[in-house]
Structure 1
Amino acid sequence: MITLSIVAIVIDNLEITKRFISSIRQYTSTNYELILIDNKSKDKETIEFIKNSADKYFRFDKRVSISHAWNKGIDLAEGEYLVIANNDMVVPKEWFEKLKKPFDIDKKCGIVSPLTFWNYNFGLDTKRIKPLKSFFKKFKNKFIKLKKWNQGIWGEFLLFKKEILIELDKFSEEYPIASAEDIDLLFTYYKNGYNVYIQPEVFVYHEGNASHKLLGKEKEKIWNDNYHKIFVPKWKKFSKDI
Structure 2
Amino acid sequence: MKTPVISIIIPICNDDYPLAHYTGNAIGSIKQYTDLPYEIIIIDNGSTVELGGLKWDETVDQYVKNEENLGVAKAWNQGIKLAKGDYVAILNSDIQVFKHWAEDLIDALEHVDLAMATPMYAYPYGRAKKAQELRMEWIKKTPDQYLSTFNDFSCFMVRKEVFDKVGFFDENYGLGYGEDVDFRFKLEERGMVAKSTKRANIHHIGMATGHTLDNQGAKLGDLMKKNGEYTAKKWDLDKYGVPAFRRGNVAKQTIKGGMVVRTAKTGNKVYYIMEGKAGHVTDPETLQALGFDFGNVKLIPHDQFLEYDIVDPIKLKAKKPEPVKVDTDPVLGYRTNAKL
Q: Structure 1-normalised TM-score?
A: 0.82
* Residue of structure 1 equivalent to 2:113: 110
Aligned-partner residue type, residue 115 of structure 1: T
The alpha-carbon deviation at position 180 of structure 1 amounts to 0.4
Aligned counterpart in structure 1 of residue 202 of structure 2, from 201, 204, 213: 204
Q: Deviations over 1:20-63 (max 9, x none)?
A: 01000000000100000111101143885322211000000122
* Residue of structure 1 equivalent to 2:169: 171
The answer to whether the aligner puts 1:6 opposite 2:8 as a matched pair is: yes
* Residue of structure 1 equivalent to 2:59: 53
Q: Secondary structure at the match of 1:234?
A: helix
* Residue of structure 2 equivalent to 1:67: 73
Structure with the larger RCO, 1 or 2 (CA within 8 Å, 6+ apart): 1
Are the aligned partners of 1:144 and 1:197 in contact in 2 as well (CA < 8 Å)? yes
* Residue of structure 2 equivalent to 1:122: none
Superposed, 1:7-86 pairs within 5 Å as 7-12=9-14, 13-45=19-51, 48-86=54-92
Superposed, 1:64-213 pairs within 5 Å as 64-104=70-110, 106=111, 109-117=112-120, 142=143, 143-146=146-149, 153-213=151-211
Q: Secondary structure at the match of 2:177?
A: coil
Q: Deviations over 1:139-185 (max 9, x none)?
A: 66543243xxxxx6132111101111232111011112130001100
Taking the aligned partners of 2:86 and 2:102, their CA distance within structure 1 comes to 13
**Mind listing any 5+ residue stretches in structure 2 that lack a counterpart?**
123-136, 238-243, 254-295, 297-340
How many equivalent residue pairs? 215
* Structure ID, larger Rg: 2
Are the aligned partners of 1:2 and 1:33 in contact in 2 as well (CA < 8 Å)? yes
Taking the aligned partners of 2:53 and 2:194, their CA distance within structure 1 comes to 35
Taking the aligned partners of 1:86 and 1:166, their CA distance within structure 2 comes to 23
Aligned-partner residue type, residue 118 of structure 2: L
**Mind listing any 5+ residue stretches in structure 1 that lack a counterpart?**
120-137, 147-151
More helix as a share of residues: 1
Taking the aligned partners of 1:114 and 1:46, their CA distance within structure 2 comes to 32
Q: Secondary structure at the match of 1:174?
A: helix
Taking the aligned partners of 2:52 and 2:114, their CA distance within structure 1 comes to 31
* Residue of structure 2 equivalent to 1:128: none
Taking the aligned partners of 2:35 and 2:158, their CA distance within structure 1 comes to 18
Taking the aligned partners of 2:56 and 2:118, their CA distance within structure 1 comes to 26
The alpha-carbon deviation at position 186 of structure 1 amounts to 0.8
* Residue of structure 1 equivalent to 2:222: 221
Taking the aligned partners of 2:157 and 2:35, their CA distance within structure 1 comes to 16
- Distance of aligned partners of 1:40 and 1:91 in 2 relative to their CA distance in 1, 3 Å threshold: same
Are the aligned partners of 1:145 and 1:196 in contact in 2 as well (CA < 8 Å)? no
- Distance of aligned partners of 1:11 and 1:154 in 2 relative to their CA distance in 1, 3 Å threshold: same
Taking the aligned partners of 1:231 and 1:178, their CA distance within structure 2 comes to 12
The alpha-carbon deviation at position 8 of structure 1 amounts to 0.3
Q: Secondary structure at the match of 1:42?
A: coil
The alpha-carbon deviation at position 118 of structure 1 amounts to 6.0
Taking the aligned partners of 1:77 and 1:46, their CA distance within structure 2 comes to 29
Aligned-partner residue type, residue 8 of structure 2: I
Q: Secondary structure at the match of 2:156?
A: strand
Q: Secondary structure at the match of 2:157?
A: strand
Q: Structure 2-normalised TM-score?
A: 0.59
Aligned-partner residue type, residue 114 of structure 1: A
* Residue of structure 2 equivalent to 1:232: 232
Are the aligned partners of 1:8 and 1:86 in contact in 2 as well (CA < 8 Å)? yes
Taking the aligned partners of 1:178 and 1:76, their CA distance within structure 2 comes to 24
Taking the aligned partners of 2:120 and 2:232, their CA distance within structure 1 comes to 25
Ranges of 4+ aligned residues in structure 1 off by more than 4 Å: 138-141, 239-242
Taking the aligned partners of 2:116 and 2:53, their CA distance within structure 1 comes to 29
Q: Secondary structure at the match of 2:55?
A: helix
RMSD between superposed Cα atoms in Å: 2.2
